[in-house]
Each structure stands twice: as structure tokens, then as C-alpha cells.
Amino acid sequence: MMEGQAGAGAAVEISGIAKRYSTGAQAVAALDGVSLAIEAGSLVAVAGPSGSGKSTLLHLLGAMDVPDEGTIRVGAAEVTTLSRRERVDYRRRIGFVFQSFHLLPALTALDNVAAPLLPYRADFDKHERARELLAAVGLAGREDALPSELSGGQQQRVAIARALVNDPFLLLADEPTGNLDSRTGEELLQLLLGLRAQRGTTVLVATHDPVIASRCDRIVRLQDGRILDVTDVQPEEATALLERVTRLEP
Ligand SMILES: Nc1ncnc2c1ncn2[C@@H]1O[C@H](COP(=O)(O)OP(=O)(O)OP(=O)(O)O)[C@@H](O)[C@H]1O
Ligand SMILES: [Mg+2]
């Protein structure tokens, strides 16, 4: 089912994870016994209402937080038991894209993309790599633009290029199309689909958008911190759905 470079993306295995937050006397179970296996190189939508645990799941996968219970294996790494140092290395190989882009306003598009590489020694030209990635997301010629000079969709593409600069084995995107119109959202989705095909990157995308979700390989729906259901999307259904949607456009 998955084409692309074998071994580029990581398989993910989540077993029985729980994450609770306590605010004062109240404890909220953001995730409550979630188990899920994800094939290397697949594009998975994480759907569900606000507060259902989508961002929490992505943060745990990105080792930005630790679960109270359960285990998370990403490729060879057991994410929940990494040492401090291993966590730093692990996070370097994860791409994270946020709804609000999080670009550094004083840096050009090129410098934003290169920024994650700057603290490290590299045997390649960092700015050349950033330039290639900007071109890959359709922003050749805009290297010197500041974020404030770019549209929302363009800023999000810079954020995706930046998330790819360390050649991640897992890309986590938290509502990357949330602030964008549907056409721009569709372009971003094409970008994610292309990534999956070319590099075999495993991609998890939290989204409220049913069109985006229907184009992924699988849809995992969360509700109240639990998995409601998991749907494997058949490519022909996705095409039919997309055709319906496009026909409605003026
Ligand atoms: N840092 C935190 N402190 C306390 N509670 C939190 C924290 N982060 C998340 N929660 C709670 O955990 C639950 C899940 O939140 P989460 O952000 O994962 O939901 P979500 O599905 O991403 O929602 P949205 O679609 O609105 O982004 C919510 O009830 C939320 O209030
Ligand atoms: Mg969220």
C-alpha cells in the first residue's frame, strides 16, 4: 500500500497511554487508555471534537510531554523512557507543525527554515538545504521574505519546510490547515501527500476538516480521551469525495 523510500518513516506503536492534567482539585483525563499501531510511511488523521485529546497525543508522540501510563514506540525508540539526552536527539528527528505556524518574525523565510540546523555541525550547506526545502514547498524566490510579508498559507509552508529540515522520520501536524481557506488547505494536503510518497515520512495530522481527513490513509477519531473508532480510507472513496467537493466550488 505504501510506496516511497523504505525505512524513511518510522512505525509507531502506542500502548495503553493515559495522560491526566490536574488543575487545582480537578483532574482531567486528556487521554485514557489509547492504543494504536501506525504503519511506517502512512498518513494518519487524528480527528475528534475540541478537548478530545488530539494535541495531547501529538505532544506525547513528540516527546514534548510524558504520559502517566503506557508506552510509545517510534521506530527503535521507546519514547517514554528516553534519557534527557536521548530526548534531545529524538526531538531533532521529529517535525512539528503548529496551527499558528510559530515562525520567528525577525527572520527571513530562509533563516526560519535553517534555524533548527544552526546549533549543530553539518557536513552540508545549511542554507542550501533550506533553499531546496523552500523550493519543494513552492516558495522558490521568497527566501528573503519576512513572515509578515507572506500569506497564511505561505507561512504554513515555511513552517512545513522548517519541520522537514532535519529529515524527520515522523511529522506531527496539529491542525495545520486550521487558519487557512479550503483551497490553501488542499494545497497543504497535497504537500503532505507528496512527502509521504517521496520520502515515506510517517505523518500524523490532527484536523477538524473532514476533507483533509478523508484524504489520509486512516482516520482515528478521539472522544473524551479515548479512541472512538479507526477507519481505513479507501483511495477510491477519497477521490469520489474530493470530486464532490470540487464540483461545489465556483
Ligand atoms: N496543560 C494542560 N493543563 C490542563 N489541562 C489540559 C492541558 N492540556 C490539555 N488539557 C486538557 O486535556 C483535554 C484534551 O486537550 P487537547 O488539547 O489534547 O484537546 P484537542 O483535541 O487538541 O482540542 P482542540 O481541538 O480544541 O485543539 C482537554 O480537556 C484540555 O482542557
Ligand atoms: Mg488541539
> Which phi and psi (to 5°) does residue 205 adopt?
-125, 120
Q: What is the predicted pLDDT for the residue at 240?
A: 66
pTM for the predicted model, two decimal places: 0.88
- pLDDT tens sequence across 63-101: 999 999 999 999 999 999 999 999 999 998 999 998 777
Mean per-residue pLDDT, 128-139 = 92
Residue type, 44: V
- Helix 152-164 and helix 182-199: axis angle, to 10°? 20
Q: Is the CB of 214 under 6 A from ligand 1?
A: no
Q: Is the CB of 54 under 6 A from ligand 1?
A: yes
Residue type, 205: V
User: What ligand has the least distance to the C-alpha of 208?
Assistant: 1
Task: Give the number of residues written for the chain.
Answer: 250
More confident: 102 or 12: 12
Residue 239: pLDDT band with limits 50, 70, 90: low
- Which residues are bridge partners to 219 per DSSP? 45, 231
Q: Is the CB of 31 under 6 A from ligand 1?
A: no
Q: Which ligand 1 atom minimizes the distance to the CA of 56?
A: 18
CATH 3.40.50.300 fits 12-248, yes or no: yes
Q: Is the CB of 22 under 6 A from ligand 1?
A: no
Query: What spacing in Å lies between the alpha carbon of 98 and ligand 2's midpoint?
Result: 9
**Interatomic CA distance for residues 183 and 177, integer angstroms:** 10
Nearest protein Cα to ligand 1, atom 5: 21
Nearest protein Cα to ligand 1, atom 17: 55
Query: What spacing in Å lies between the alpha carbon of 165 and ligand 1's midpoint?
Result: 28
Residue 227: pLDDT band with limits 50, 70, 90: very high
Decide if pLDDT at 218 tops 60.
yes
Q: Is the CB of 55 under 6 A from ligand 1?
A: yes
- pLDDT tens sequence across 135-153: 988 899 999 999 999 998 8
Nearest protein Cα to ligand 1, atom 13: 30
Query: What spacing in Å lies between the alpha carbon of 2 and ligand 1's midpoint?
Result: 32
- The number of beta carbons lying within 10 Å of the beta carbon of residue 196 is 23
**Interatomic CA distance for residues 14 and 216, integer angstroms:** 19
List own/partner pairs for 100-107 with CB under 8 A and 24 or more apart.
100/179, 101/147, 101/152, 101/155, 101/156, 101/158, 101/159, 102/159, 103/147, 103/155, 103/158, 103/159, 103/162, 104/147, 105/146, 105/147, 105/148, 106/146, 107/146, 107/147
Q: Is the CB of 174 under 6 A from ligand 1?
A: no
- pLDDT tens sequence across 6-49: 348 999 999 999 999 988 888 899 999 999 999 999 999 999 99
